[in-house]
Structure 1
């Protein structure tokens, strides 16, 4: 859930060639994390696919509602466009509010590229922004990445194709049902009767040989999480084990050179040399963010620095969303409400919210009196708490939802 809500960035999309939907706004290309693409996949399957009773629309970071139309459903903006659904048809809207729908398909969807997918009668194909098919309507499923590749399922088998529908691996390679990231994708092989995972590049180079029960799928600080027999460790980009596969759990993502790992049912931190830097003392811990890591003991939460010293006493109510961002962290008060503390533990924004998420670009999404809104780092409402929900801002635009009673 932590990754599901809070890490959304934007990457550019090639502008549509037609005058009707031409967009003058050019959104700079930004590298998305593996987790962010996973979030998109969840959004695609759950949020956009659902038929909800209510109104979706868009609001800017001044609290002003945008465009002269609302929708039955929509996604966040991916670059210059957001996917929308209205009156039984799927399409998209650009940042100037121009829409285009494709009622000839059961569904259309774009991520960060000018190539998306169209679905009809239970099959899928690649599609361009003008609604023209790039491939035949032959796929049973399709996944996205930011890199011009699509993982597709056909006749029970997964393949990787490029924007033109060309397979980039031979049919003998067994691809896992995931997506290409950083030029690599998880593949599978059968070793001594067991299915094992590894990592292969889009050029066909074996990065990590398939000999693990699970691989993370991406590198963080040059190493990747792997698992065998319910134990975890890390390998480097040469496929060499650099942290032994001996831990009960560890972190997929980590900041800097300290990795949170679990051993003997307690959490601590090791460095890239597998040296214990902070002892295994905690029931839970997150990674370091802005020099502090959230730790939990006996249901209470506090913060330690990189030397293991307790900076904020372990007295706060436990919350899974408490990493520091922009000098502030969400905390849960004894009254069950949420507010924000600074890196010294001082309350900076009073705990009056039903829910709150970490700040990004000076804004936090909150729930107040069961309504969604957005505050700045002074605790001032930027977007009034008038909505059932408001999502993360994407270059100054966020989507909102007003639920029917």
Structure 2
């Protein structure tokens, strides 16, 4: 019995390294948005994918690779000069002989990754991808974690400025906090740009310097604002503080349990009255009150009333907000507000990008385009009938349409777009996307360049029709809110002689529910005539295969999960409908929802392997389904599958990347 929880992959498999580093009060200072904002950008991250193998490189503004795609991932911010390049520490096992698996090419898998830096102005690698972590550049310097207790600070040419055994943050005002251990206790101090200690490590927590001042914690409940000489400017009597920005310190009043703001002298400027407070940006701060959010100025006056489910800072004093029923902005249309709290647009946009060059990227659920600062559509910039987000990146427009990456000129001419392709023996597949609405998306394969055009069209239509039937479009209600979200964005391809097996994995989420429901869908197609097989086609007529499966499933359950009394923890009561199944070379896989097995509470998919020898007496070995993957295909090389192979196209050559 195999348990398979649906898991959403998060940006970068090395995220665990970031979590280790991004700790304490200093965690918010690892990223800096000011350096290289106006840097010359000549090269753009792009990738090639074939048979699940994804490699990244850099293209020029004509869409040609200048830096060959050799990296396992590239992470970058539009408009920033430097990009992080990643390499797997250990290569994954060879899986391509077993078929081809679709993954989100923007996201690295869970394999450990090492990181380096590449200069997008010239394609030069300034830091080889062999390190644990690297921060953004700030004041021309970046911090690199070399090993568990070894750090170095580099300049923009990759030259080492100094090394340290202590964790080092981001530079600001010419100083950087560092974290060391004394008698096992973490303490913070400050260094200058040469690595010389300027303020001794005597603080429990420490923030970055701004305008010559920094907020520190001396002991629990004792805080201070210090100058760049380490002298106390003011002592703070608040039990808890939440950081300082633009001269405003967030503090918690223990008696009321509410948050307020004080200035750098410790004087209360805005009384404690909020359930949540954010840092001030551009003179404004997002605050929460009675489970709703609003925007205040430095006088504590509401600029946007606290009546929104969520408010999102867009930069330069602009915000988006929505009034939906759950705190997930994806499912609700948002309005855009300016610095004065004036509403510039109606609640029209499911996605609103950050302020950039005087524009915002917006997606209204039907198209993606730019609007100007006054809320009007930017008519001189392109509009795309796809759903996602746009960003200015150098001389191009970067478009992220779900997981498809594209680059356009500013007049809308396509420069480059990502493509995913597979080769399985003598058959080629390309990936297609079905995204009829903001919350419905499916990715699926289509045959291309096959010698039998009629058969290719038939098989492609079968696959496409099944996608349409199994991914019902959910329309928004009168207020624009979506009731459900379905993503069928993961599939795998396997070929066994004449049998093509496609496995789709999806996640259905009713908006507002505690969790969603994973789904598995299979397609078994004969590549010679386009026949779509059902489970019953594997067995002799009249065979009661469901009862045999149920008995085998309960046998496996009893052998793997028992109570303290020695009884099975679960029991399968039997199939209410035809189960989802997967044919492999040497076994049958049956998929069940966890809810189909009593006392199994998590929302997952459980798979059960049933070897053919256990059901050989009811298999129709002369039937079309069995024969489709038990005969030699002429002209196709026979390969011996790996010893531990449980599925795969073991009758075709190793899958080859197609770019």
Indicate the TM-score class for this superposition, using the shorter chain for normalisation: 0.5 to 0.7
Q: Would you say how many aligned residue pairs link Structure 1 and Structure 2?
A: 331
Over 3 Å counting, the alpha-carbon distance change for 1:375 and 1:259 in structure 2 is same
Counterpart position of 2:264 = 272
Over 3 Å counting, the alpha-carbon distance change for 1:393 and 1:149 in structure 2 is same
CA RMSD of aligned residues (A): 4.2
Q: Does 1:196 align with 2:187?
A: yes
Q: Does 1:331 align with 2:321?
A: yes
Q: Does 1:347 align with 2:337?
A: no
Query: TM-score of the superposition, structure 2-length normalised?
Result: 0.42
Specify every segment of 5 or more residues in structure 2 that has no aligned partner in the other structure, as ranges: 1-27, 91-113, 326-331, 403-432, 434-441, 443-659
Residue from 222, 226, 240 that aligns with 2:231: 240
Specify every segment of 5 or more residues in structure 1 that has no aligned partner in the other structure, as ranges: 1-32, 41-76
Q: Is the 8 A contact 1:83 1:92 kept in 2?
A: yes
Over 3 Å counting, the alpha-carbon distance change for 1:366 and 1:246 in structure 2 is farther
Over 3 Å counting, the alpha-carbon distance change for 1:246 and 1:181 in structure 2 is same
Q: Which moved more, 1:349-358 or 1:138-147?
A: 138-147
Counterpart position of 2:245 = 254
Q: Does 1:187 align with 2:149?
A: no
**Offset at 1:194?**
0.8
Residue from 30, 38, 55 that aligns with 1:89: 55
Alignment of 1:114-263 (within 5 A): 119=87, 121=89, 139-146=131-138, 149-162=141-154, 167-169=160-162, 173-176=164-167, 178-179=169-170, 183-216=174-207, 218-227=208-217, 231=221, 233-244=224-235, 246-247=237-238, 249-250=240-241, 252=243, 254-255=245-246, 257-263=247-253
Q: Is the 8 A contact 2:29 2:170 kept in 1?
A: no
Counterpart position of 1:306 = 298
Larger helix proportion of the pair: 2
Q: Which moved more, 1:205-214 or 1:266-275?
A: 205-214
Counterpart position of 1:282 = 274
Distance 1:114 1:331 in 2: 32
Counterpart position of 1:99 = 65
Q: Is the 8 A contact 1:325 1:358 kept in 2?
A: no
Q: Is the 8 A contact 1:267 1:282 kept in 2?
A: yes
Distance 2:85 2:238 in 1: 41
Counterpart position of 1:295 = 287
Over residues 69-100 of structure 1, what are the superposed CA-to-partner deviations in whole Å (9 max), with x where a residue is unaligned?
xxxxxxxx973333222244332134454531
Counterpart position of 1:21 = none
Q: Does 1:374 align with 2:370?
A: yes
Distance 2:354 2:128 in 1: 43
Q: Is the 8 A contact 1:286 1:323 kept in 2?
A: no
Over 3 Å counting, the alpha-carbon distance change for 1:182 and 1:80 in structure 2 is farther
Q: Is the 8 A contact 1:102 1:131 kept in 2?
A: no
Distance 1:334 1:115 in 2: 36
Counterpart position of 1:356 = 352
Distance 1:98 1:300 in 2: 49
Query: TM-score of the superposition, structure 1-length normalised?
Result: 0.64
Over 3 Å counting, the alpha-carbon distance change for 1:390 and 1:138 in structure 2 is closer
Over residues 172-231 of structure 1, what are the superposed CA-to-partner deviations in whole Å (9 max), with x where a residue is unaligned?
x42216555565443232224312122212313323321223322x22232223335564
Over 3 Å counting, the alpha-carbon distance change for 1:389 and 1:202 in structure 2 is same
Distance 1:263 1:338 in 2: 33
**Offset at 1:282?**
1.7
